[in-house]
Amino acid sequence: MPTSIRISMFYGALFLGLGGTFAFLPVWYAGRGLGGEWIGYALGAGSLARLFAGPLVAAQAGHPSHIPTILRWAALAAVLIFVIHVPVSNPLVFVFLGLVLGTAYAPLVPLADALAMALERRKLVHYGPVRSAGSAAFIVGTMGCGWLIARFGSEMLLVWAIGTGLLLVISAWFLPNVEAREKLADTDKAGHRLRDALKFCARPDVATALLISFLVQASHAFFYGFSALLWTAAGFSGLLIGALFAWGVFFEVVLFNLSPWFRKHASPLILLLIGGCAALVRWLALSTEPELSALIGWQILHGFSAAMTNLGMMAYLQKHTPERLIAGAQAINSSVTAGLSFGIGFSVAGFLYVRSGADGYLFAAGAAGLGIAICLALIIYQRVRGVPQTDIS
């Protein structure tokens, strides 16, 4: 089986599950009796777990050949934790399970990305096209899970999560292995790799790019956490909500497939800037609670706000990260831009949703605007110092 198909299968199974849970986990929590603030705490606990668990787990991979084994165990753990959710109704238990589930999910996306990066370096795959398989599956996930919830109720979210989790476990066994390009020294322990990965990510240029990505990604937290509830209150069905999510992700698929062209013609900072600008415009528009026809138009910007931000960071890490640090650096990136950003963002979003409703999007716009300002400042600074934009990625 071709290498690109194997890793695309894993991305597909992973994001098939995430498509349902991202869109409808808050609806399921609400169906189990949780209020807005508790929903924010449960979602935030999972995201904060990724901040710590991702780098610790990823540091066990001394070279890319270790990654498939870690992904197999993590996928199995995620399924078991979803099964444990079945009888739960206590809010505190949901927060605890959110923390545990976040720990299991922490290495899945960053290590899949790290594996794809290693395969791309060996000219076996292109990151954007294989990653687009995940975005395409996300569309199916939101539509499929939305239809089930509309037909049978919010408890179908748990059925969806367990079923797609089993598919993920199966697909993990087909992940391609990669030979190490350099021999792993006996003294190169996990703790040393984690230290070196942290040192690499603390480099001023990397840290600034991470900060920009953190702010733009954090601005998505209110949307991911509470747009489904706002749209439900507006009278939208579960199927329609799934279709709205899927419509936005469709353009993410398009941009991922066009990523070789974008990466050839734009530096990572320009890609991050495009992502930030798209997010700013999008959140300002959604704060007005637009009618369905306008909402369909604004959802197009999801492809730019999400995909461009992701591609910008991936392009930077792809060029500069030593191979022994690929897993650790990518996990730190995920911890900051998906763990810390959403951990803080979801908790704040729950507070804003209860007190401000759709006006919470204005705070999201503020976070994106700050990311834009820092990105512009860095671009101007580097141009004043004569740093070619094509050499900073």
Q: For residue range 281-298, list pLDDT tens digits in order.
A: 999 999 998 888 899 999
Nearest-CA neighbor of 131 among 156, 153, 112?
112
DSSP state for residue 390 in the 8-state scheme: G
Please report the pLDDT score of residue 388 as a whole number: 55
> Residue by residue, what is the 3-state secondary structure of 296-351?
HHHHHHHHHHHHHHHHHHHHHHHHHCCHHHHHHHHHHHHHHHHHHHHHHHHHHHHH
Q: pLDDT digit string (tens) for 177-222?
A: 876 655 555 445 666 777 888 888 888 888 998 999 999 988 998 8
d(CA 173, CA 10): 9
Residue 355 has pLDDT above 70, yes or no: yes
CB atoms closer than 10 angstroms to residue 321: 22
Percentage of the chain lying above the pLDDT 90 cut: 23
Q: What is the mean pLDDT of residues 42-71?
A: 76
Please report the pLDDT score of residue 12 as a whole number: 95
Residue 259 has pLDDT above 90, yes or no: no
d(CA 311, CA 317): 10
Please report the pLDDT score of residue 263 as a whole number: 80
Residue 279 has pLDDT above 60, yes or no: yes
Percentage of the chain lying above the pLDDT 70 cut: 93
The token pair at 209 is 């790019």
User: Which band of pLDDT confidence, cut at 50, 70 and 90, is reported for residue 62?
Assistant: low
Q: In the block, which residue shows the tokens 């409808």?
A: 24
CA angle, corner 23, sides to 96 and 310, nearest 5?
90
d(CA 300, CA 254): 11
Please report the pLDDT score of residue 63 as a whole number: 67
Please report the pLDDT score of residue 13 as a whole number: 95
User: Which band of pLDDT confidence, cut at 50, 70 and 90, is reported for residue 392?
Assistant: very low
Please report the pLDDT score of residue 391 as a whole number: 38
Residue type, 116: A
What is each CA distance from 74 to 64, 105, 130, 135, 258, in whole angstroms? 16, 7, 21, 21, 31
Q: What is the mean pLDDT of residues 349-363?
A: 85
Average pLDDT, the chain: 84
pTM: 0.74
CATH number of 3-176+188-391: 1.20.1250.20
Residue 393 has pLDDT above 50, yes or no: no
Q: Is 386 left (phi over 0), alpha (psi -120 to 50) or beta?
A: left
Higher pLDDT, 387 or 99: 99
Please report the pLDDT score of residue 369 as a whole number: 96
